[in-house]
Amino acid sequence: MTTISIPAVRLPARPRPSIRAEVARRILTAVAGRVPVDVRLPDGSLLDGGSPDVDVRPVLEVVRPDALYRRIAAHPKIGIGEGYVAGDWRAGAGTDLAQLLLPFAERLTDVLPPALTRLRRLVDRPIPSAHRNSLLGARRNIESHYDLSNDLFAAFLDETMTYSSALFDEARPYADQDLVEAQMRKVRAVLDLAGVQSGTRLLEIGTGWGSLAVEAARRGATVTTVTLSVEQAALAQERADAAGLGHLVEIRLQDYRQVRGTFDAVVSVEMIEAVGEEYWPTYFGAIDRVLRPGGVAAIQGILMGHDRYQATRHSYGWIQKHIFPGGLIPSLQAISETVEQHTELRVTQVHAFGRHYAETLRRWRRSFLASWPEIYGPGFDEEFRRKWEFYLAYCEAGFDAGYLDVAHIRLTRPSRGGVA
């Protein structure tokens, strides 16, 4: 028998994780030890080495550990969200995604050891200059979200097509209430706050799909409403005409900075978050410019605490990259300081209702997932589904935890006699 000698084959060594990825693993391990969540690795063990708390704690299943560590190492603020979208991790069986994210949101200010928190400025990245809300940039930023498809939004919003927090009746459990009723309660509350009635000349900054403009016209107001979304403007016009109120509602494809004229009242629902800090003086200045003496403005805005606003105002996060380019959530203090320094407007009334937004987002996410078979198609693939599921759950957790808030804010412009 002839013996054939086969040379030994040296298998390539398994790539060693980078130093940054190893640091990311250690940071994630430290976080897992400080949050009541079981972070489960593919072999069933827990990342922090503890014992599973069966049927008590939410479970985060890591599917591809090395990929997740690399993402977090590359961009700590964006890597977790991008890891979910890519499938590097998921909520464990029986764990709701928003409930999984809630413990992290509740401990957002102290989830990292103090020594690591002090290094935040070394990993924070500035908001890209391409996301600035210049006249051209604002149109591009709005189109990237609101012009995705009217059919997409119709699939998960209620019949009012209202894409902002509802206002539920505090006397009854939120979960028992109809979303349409709660959204119309919100619309009426904004109009009441601005004193809109028959004969009011009303400017709306940010049309949405027209529900507020149509309701104002039903009161007998003459409405001018501006938007940068072609899709929204077309459907809003259809809805105003269908209600027989098209003669009272003028819908303009126009930037708020370009509006001229004088109005008795100005309303703007969840527009301030899209303006960008650089343009807050311009935004409130535009309201101040067009509002008659003694007029009233009412805005609905998402807010965060002033300390958190200051800590995050120059950093670039997952929501800004993937959902709302150019956006920044203000604090109430930041709004008050801006209007006092740059306008004659003054904040005279605030009503906060953040938990209502958590319930609104729960409804939207439930409808989005239930409607996914109808949404799925060109431009809306599984990656898009995971992105929007994470976005809705992430925001829901933020409002449930109180990290985020939403409020109705009344701004008055003094009359010539000095009385608002």
pLDDT at residue 362 greater than cutoff 50: yes
Biggest distance spanned by C-alpha atoms of the chain: 114
* 37 and 145 within one domain: no
* Residues contacting residue 12 through CB under 8 Å, at least 6 positions apart: none
- How many whole angstroms from its chain centre is CA 343? 27
Query: Edge to edge, what strands does the sheet with 89-91 contain?
Result: 38-40, 59-62, 89-91
Size of the chain, expressed as the number of residues it contains? 420
CATH number of domain containing 226: 3.40.50.150
Question: How many domains, the chain?
Answer: 2
pLDDT at residue 266 greater than cutoff 60: yes
* 296 and 153 within one domain: yes
User: 101: exposed, middle or buried (C-beta count within 10 Å: 0-12, 13-18, 19+)?
Assistant: buried
* 178 and 34 within one domain: no
C-alpha span between 417 and 420 (Å, rounded): 9
Other Cβ atoms less than 10 A from the Cβ of 288: the count is 19
Final residue in a domain of this structure, among 88, 123, 158: 123
**CB of 217 within 8 A of CB of 244?**
no
CA distances from 238 to 188, 249, 317 (A): 21, 11, 36
- 159 in any annotated domain: yes
Orientation of helix 76-86 relative to helix 19-32, angle to 10°: 80
- 1 in any annotated domain: no
Final residue in a domain of this structure, among 123, 144, 173: 123
C-alpha span between 159 and 213 (Å, rounded): 15
Across 47-51, 68-72, 163-167, 320-324, least confident range: 47-51
- 278 in any annotated domain: yes
3-class SS at 396? helix
- 391 in any annotated domain: yes
Across 128-142, 186-200, 208-222, 405-419, least confident range: 128-142
Region 196-207: mean pLDDT is: 98
* Residues contacting residue 380 through CB under 8 Å, at least 6 positions apart: 149, 152
Q: What is the pLDDT of residues 41-70, one digit of tens each?
A: 999 999 977 777 656 899 999 999 999 999
Structural domain that includes position 77 = 19-123
- 186 in any annotated domain: yes
- State the Cα angle at 314 between 311 and 317, rounded to 5°: 90
- 185 in any annotated domain: yes
- β-strand pairing of 346-352 with 59-62: unpaired
| pLDDT for res 84 | 97
- What percent of the chain has a predicted confidence (pLDDT) above 90? 73
pLDDT at residue 102 greater than cutoff 70: yes
Torsion on CA atoms 339, 342, 343, 347, rounded to nearest 10 = 10
Report the mean per-residue pLDDT for the chain: 90
Final residue in a domain of this structure, among 61, 88, 123: 123
CA distances from 271 to 111, 256, 293, 352, 357 (A): 30, 10, 23, 16, 15
pLDDT at residue 16 greater than cutoff 60: no
